[in-house]
Structure 1
């Protein structure tokens, strides 16, 4: 069977110039844009710092944590943003309702804060307290925070799983 003039010409052309290749530049541009998009949008997930020394109480709270100043309280120490501020035993032994070291540190945090808040609104703070800390200590911490104009106080809790998720109907 005889080939047409066109098919002969196409064979000659393909032998001379080779087959067409895949243009990878466009594909790389698309993947680069996709990577940047995922990097920018992956920072929306808010997580509280984890500490093995603190066991948070469980709750059915649905609200995600905001980025605020974090006061971490375990059985031994009170920490603000990871810095040790006071010893729990000394605070419990004290008769004062306000913890002076915590008040001073919260004033420093308020000055360094990026939040622009009026005097009556107050600042935001998250308290991560071990579920075994005494109420007397928690009351002193809350009184100190309100004294330092941190009136929007959030308590960090672990989200309790639903019964359906656990497998127990």
Structure 2
């Protein structure tokens, strides 16, 4: 059978030269085709890595103060001489009027108590709306910790008005424990510049509590 790729009418030397040239052209065309196929595509893995880095940076950069305390007539935080700085944790705020998780009000407080309809009976330590919101927050913080390749530490900071009864604080801590928050920190205002800022905020907040 004749070789269709073999040129005819040429000497053996010319045929060899022509075949070699064809081979070089075929190799070059194959290389160009491969470059055209892959050159314009996006590396999805690299894009995902980049987006993850950006997301973690935004999470780390969110808010310069890890504990956001909004002073007002319904919350006066105890003062302290502590030199420790606050850490970035979940936050529960207990004011004279409500219990707040992060910046969301979850249940009302009246006369230092949560209504029994929001608990499992009047003498129960379990506050249902607080548990529900904390469960959502714990899930979100677990996802954030996993994204940073860290372990969820279960730490929560309690910011409470200094007139709040110990019983209500205990109810909040018990409910938080049921939501897998087992380590507690209590926010105070340092004497000095922070204390003056808080006093000014409370004064400007006005209103009775």
Q: Name the TM-score class by shorter chain.
A: 0.5 to 0.7
Q: Which of 145, 157, 166 is the equivalent residue of 1:126?
A: 157
Equivalent residue number for residue 50 of structure 1 = 70
Q: Which of 98, 116, 121 is the equivalent residue of 1:77?
A: 98
Q: CA deviation at 1:45?
A: 5.4
Q: Distance in 1 between matches of 2:104 and 2:170?
A: 21
Higher normalized helix content (fraction of residues): 2
TM-score, normalised to structure 2, is 0.51
Query: 1:77-156 to 2 correspondence within 5 Å?
Result: 77-89=98-110, 91=114, 93=116, 94-113=122-141, 114-116=144-146, 122-156=153-187
| Contact 1:46/1:64, CA 8 A, preserved across alignment | no
For residues 35-55 of structure 1, the C-alpha deviation after alignment (integer angstroms, 9 at most, x for no partner) is: xxxxxx9x7654533221311
Equivalent residue number for residue 157 of structure 1 = 188
Instruction: Supply the RMSD in Å over aligned alpha carbons.
Output: 2.5
Q: CA deviation at 1:73?
A: 0.7
The aligned length equals 119
Greater Rg over alpha carbons, structure: 2
In the TM superposition, structure 1's runs of 4+ consecutive aligned residues that sit over 6 Å from their partners are: none
SS at structure 1 position matched to 2:76: coil
Runs of 5+ consecutive residues of structure 2 not aligned to the other structure:
1-60, 117-121, 193-209
Query: 1:14-25 to 2 correspondence within 5 Å?
Result: none
Measured at CA, do residues 131 and 111 of structure 1 come closer, stay the same or move farther in structure 2, by a change above 3 Å?
A: same
